[in-house]
């Protein structure tokens, strides 16, 4: 393992016992390149060929006030896998705020929990007082990786192969871009949204394959809202208006405090991909809050009516009780804890003929941060791979594979003190794709197979050339092992997660726990590069 170390960034961060500045959330300030990772267990499958990217909230400077885990600077960790080998590199994203703080040698912006006026410079995003970190999400569109901020900042561009910083997206609107844009690889389009404290309170846009802002329209809402994610089908984009949002009376005093507004339903806006505000179909549903959707698709119901199906994580308690034993962090710890807000896999059906919404719970387990086989995006999908968390913490400690057709669930629990990252499902190369089999309906009595213990060593089932199932592939993740003070790349068999990691490779340093990830095939990057060359030559 040959390690190339880059000049260190300037940091003023002091050692801390803050729960999200220590332990598995201890920031990593090294930027390195590793030509080939050392495999310490199993074998890297030869039928994986692509790049895994993870965004990370990784603070560099001593906070001006009270630190929140979503305040950190963006660091992207990347693993490139091909031919049974894996390389690694990581880089900070040089946002304008990061650069200004590097020059100053200290923090210039307050965080999510700080009062108005904490920042020494004008703030950004829907909140208007925060640093534009770009540290929430990462996605690849048309050969460029985009890092985005959940409170709506710039879309920061990176080369997904080298992690070279490429500045902010030229198409970014003045209102910014929220985390969680969605890409349709068939058309080459990327759909996004933003939100703010000013009417019309939300916008929706489409970026074409050439990187141009092809469509941008207002989505009128009754007031400021706090959406986090969106979903797409082949013809529709799905936005939301949920009853957890800033208290408007407190906003007048520049206090950003979210609360549940009793009696306000959840609303969904279905807008044609290139539609106008007057084309929106609004649907009401039971009040909740949803951080993340897993998939959406178009279908016909038993009466032959056209409908849109949406799956995601319904929160039973979106305004959770404080975790009293956490002391001064009691509210913060609750709002980032799945067990406090109680998120469970859920399905909504929107009848385009009648305007009715029907709902059903798909699992009783508390889970979130799910992934599907990307080949089934915008199509009826059967499997969802969710993460479980350590109670009271924002730390992924295991996985659940949901079969939404039968209700069966596989569970794998990581050893104590070992934590995973959001884990994209990577379809196995070399087999023909097939559509999901069977009707997706209400699960019956669910069975569960569970494995708890040290990661085992086994090979994935399925030889190259067999017809590929929807679950024929792998989960790719980073592990943080607090027992040894190390981090690893880990790969699991998506069809049988109970075996645990089938392969682990050592990273050159311990990394911090992080947030969102993505996977991009090398073949997709090659196709995007060919398209760019053809466009430039035309």
pLDDT at 353: 98
What is the number of structural domains in the chain?
Answer: 1
Query: Distances from the Cα of 239 to the Cαs of 158, 173, 197, 330, 408, in angstroms?
Result: 27, 18, 17, 31, 30
Residue at 447 is within a domain? yes
Whether 119 is covered by a domain: the verdict is yes
Q: Residue 437's pLDDT is what? A: 39
478 vs 78: CA distance, rounded Å: 10
Q: Is residue 336 part of a domain?
A: no
pLDDT along the chain (538 residues), means of 10: 95 97 98 99 98 99 97 98 99 98 98 94 91 98 98 98 98 97 98 97 98 98 98 99 96 92 97 99 99 99 98 98 95 97 99 99 98 98 99 99 98 99 95 43 38 38 58 99 99 99 99 98 96 89
Give the model's pLDDT for residue 364: 98
Calculate Rg over the CA atoms of the chain: 22
Output DSSP code: residue 374. Answer: G
CA dihedral 322, 326, 331, 335 (to 10 degrees): -90
Beta bridge partners of 491: 476, 503
The CA-CA-CA angle for residues 494, 388, 346, to 5°, reads: 85
Question: Is residue 235 a part of any domain in this protein?
Answer: yes
Residue identified by tokens 């400690």 is: 397
Please indicate, yes or no, if residue 275 is contained in any of the structural domains.
no
Segment holding 309, helix H or strand E: strand 306-315
383 domain residue, yes or no: no
Buried b (16+ CB within 10 A) or exposed e, 510-529: bbbbbbbbbbbbbebbeebe
In a domain, 291, yes or no: no
Query: What's the pLDDT at 538?
Result: 82
Say if CB 13 and CB 27 are below 8 A apart. yes
Residue numbers of the domain that contains 170: 3-259+395-537
Residue 355 lies in a domain: no
Q: Are 439 and 499 in contact (CB under 8 A)?
A: no
Q: How does strand 418-419 pair with strand 517-521? A: unpaired
Quote the pLDDT of residue 396.
Answer: 99
Cα distance between residue 13 and residue 254, in whole Å:
28
Could you tell me whether strands 236-241 and 266-272 are parallel, antiparallel, or unpaired per DSSP bridges?
antiparallel
**Which value, to the nearest 10 degrees, does the dihedral of the CA atoms of residues 458, 461, 465, 470 take?**
-130
410 close to 496: Cβ distance less than 8 angstroms = yes
């Amino acid at each position: 393992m040959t390690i190339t170390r880059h000049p260190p960034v300037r940091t003023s961060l002091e050692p801390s016992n803050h729960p999200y500045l220590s332990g598995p959330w201890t920031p990593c300030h090294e930027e390195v390149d590793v030509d080939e990772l050392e495999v310490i267990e199993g074998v890297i499958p030869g039928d994986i060929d692509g790049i895994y990217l993870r965004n990370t909230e990784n603070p560099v400077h001593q906070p001006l006030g009270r630190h929140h885990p979503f305040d950190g600077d963006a660091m992207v960790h990347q693993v490139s896998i091909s031919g049974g080998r894996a390389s690694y590199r990581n880089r900070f994203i040089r946002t304008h705020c990061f650069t200004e703080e590097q020059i100053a040698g200290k923090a210039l912006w307050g965080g999510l929990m700080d009062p108005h006026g904490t920042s020494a410079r004008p703030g950004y995003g829907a909140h208007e007082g925060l640093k534009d970190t770009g540290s929430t999400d990462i996605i690849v569109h048309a050969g460029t990786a985009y890092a985005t901020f959940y409170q709506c900042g710039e879309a920061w561009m990176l080369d997904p192969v080298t992690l070279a910083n490429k500045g902010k997206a030229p198409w970014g609107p003045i209102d910014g871009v929220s985390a969680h844009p969605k890409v349709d690889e068939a058309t080459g389009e990327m759909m996004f949204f933003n939100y703010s404290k000013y009417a019309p309170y939300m916008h929706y846009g489409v970026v074409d394959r050439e990187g141009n802002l092809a469509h941008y329209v207002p989505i009128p809402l009754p007031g400021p809202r706090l959406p986090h994610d969106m979903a797409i089908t082949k013809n529709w984009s799905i936005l939301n208006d949920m009853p957890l949002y800033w208290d408007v009376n407190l906003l007048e005093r520049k206090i950003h405090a979210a609360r549940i507004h009793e009696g306000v339903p959840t609303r969904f806006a279905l807008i044609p991909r290139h539609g106008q505000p007057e084309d929106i179909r609004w649907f009401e549903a039971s009040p909740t809050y949803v951080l993340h959707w897993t998939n959406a698709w178009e279908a016909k119901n038993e009466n032959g009516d056209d409908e849109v199906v949406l799956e995601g994580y319904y929160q039973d308690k979106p305004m959770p009780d404080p975790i009293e034993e956490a002391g001064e962090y009691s509210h913060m710890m609750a709002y980032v804890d799945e067990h406090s807000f109680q998120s469970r896999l859920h399905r909504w059906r929107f009848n385009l003929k009648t305007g009715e919404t029907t709902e059903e719970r798909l699992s009783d387990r508390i889970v979130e941060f799910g992934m599907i086989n990307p080949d089934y995006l915008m199509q009826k999908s059967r499997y969802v791979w969710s993460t479980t968390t350590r109670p009271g913490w924002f730390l992924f400690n295991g996985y659940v594979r949901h079969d939404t057709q039968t209700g069966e669930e596989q569970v794998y629990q990581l050893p104590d003190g070992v934590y995973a990252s959001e884990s994209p499902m990577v379809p196995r190369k070399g087999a023909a794709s097939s559509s999901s089999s069977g009707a997706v309906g209400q699960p019956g009595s669910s069975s569960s197979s569970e494995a708890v213990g040290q990661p085992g060593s086994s090979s994935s089932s399925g030889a190259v050339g067999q017809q590929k199932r929807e679950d024929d592939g792998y989960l790719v993740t980073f592990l943080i092992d607090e027992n040894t003070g190390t981090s690893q790349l880990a790969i699991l068999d998506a069809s049988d997660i109970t075996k645990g990691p089938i392969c682990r490779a050592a990273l050159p340093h311990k990394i911090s726990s992080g947030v969102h990830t993505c996977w991009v095939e090398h073949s997709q990057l090659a196709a995007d590069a060919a398209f760019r060359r053809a466009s430039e030559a035309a």
